[in-house]
Amino acid sequence: MARLAQTHGLTEIQTDILATVRTFVDKEIIPHAQALEHADEYPTEIVDGMKEMGLFGLMIPEEYGGLGESLLTYALVVEEIARGWMSVSGIINTHFIVAYLLRQHGSDEQKQRLLPKMATGDVRGAFSMSEPALGSDVSAISTRAKKDGDDYLITGQKMWLTNGAQSSVVATLVKTDQGEESVYRNMTTFLVEKEPGFGETAPGVTIPKKIEKMGYKGVETTELIFDDARIPATSILGGPDKAGRGFYQMMDGIEVGRVNVAARACGIAIRAFELGVAYAQQRRTFGKAIVDHQAIAFKLAEMATKIEAAHALTVNAARLKDAGLRNDVEAGMAKLLASEYCAEVTQESFRIHGGYGYSKEYEIERLMREAPFLLIGEGTSEIQKTIISRGLLREYGIKG
């Protein structure tokens, strides 16, 4: 195995899982990713393979049929899968945010009913906070749920749902009215259950056609439209008495999501480095391989160093979360550094490829379109800097 981005202190089970996933990526994902991505085709056979491997149940407790693994294991698996094709990692990302939310905040009934089916991949999860007019300001959510007897009527429009069509349960953050002064205490997370597919997938719940994107193809990204959708109060994450706790539940899930995005960025950067270092040894100019030119050799040295730094921060953020410790600053740092470095490493590999990097025949062209997504997914770099600086002031602020 290559030296780059190794993780020390793993258990034998973790090592075996990663070895199995890496073999799967090399044999079943990388050889097919280009054709599937260019066709914007859903990778059905790859997903079936992940189901057989039990990856959809990776972080779901054993009592619900999952493997009961840690966030660290999940992050390292995501890194391996994103190295093959980022879209495939996106298929399990939102699924696991929902599974994590259920594990941490769900009622016993919700866990027993949903987690076993999620562990097999028969039920897929999607995660929904954003809206068409909503950027980083979560308090500006306008989709509303009004109490109506034992139910709620939800009306509004959500945006940017990965797995919007393939999912059967969508963790959705909406405005409710708990009478609290803070807007963040007037938000509730609903587990909206629907049929997979496009169109009206449940009464009052519509998934329009997929959104066309410059990259991140294969996996669908959609809107979600509510038109007086009647959702029972028992669908509130954690049960009816958890109304108004949605913002805090979702932020817990977002920390998992930021570790995931950091891991995806590491995976893409690793693949970009592999492509760049291989091409640099094959391409010859001025009588020698271009890797023997100092300008190219130094690029490779900087690329590898950035990957190591991003990987280390990602591992640290995951381990803190697994230990039950606060990791908002560390997850923000990991997401910030990994996504920025991913864009830089990918561009340097693109430069090493020269004119061939602009050709769709070369894999680096796809990575160049995928890497920018990670700069905005789960919060922009500016949002990460805000989170990091506020966290630092909690620790280093002058008292009195």
Helix extents (H) in the chain: 12-24, 30-39, 44-53, 71-84, 86-105, 108-120, 246-282, 294-322, 328-353, 363-370, 381-396
Per-residue tokens: 124 = 């897929």
Per-residue tokens: 105 = 């905040």
Question: How far is Cα 173 from Cα 62, in angstroms, rounded to an integer?
Answer: 28
Question: How far is Cα 67 from Cα 288, in angstroms, rounded to an integer?
Answer: 50
Output the CA angle 370-371-372, nearest 5 degrees. 95
> Which residues belong to the active site?
378
Q: At what angle do helices 328-353 and 246-282 cross, to 10 degrees?
A: 30
DSSP reduced 3-state for 201: strand
Per-residue tokens: 127 = 């995660």
Question: How far is Cα 50 from Cα 100, in angstroms, rounded to an integer?
Answer: 18
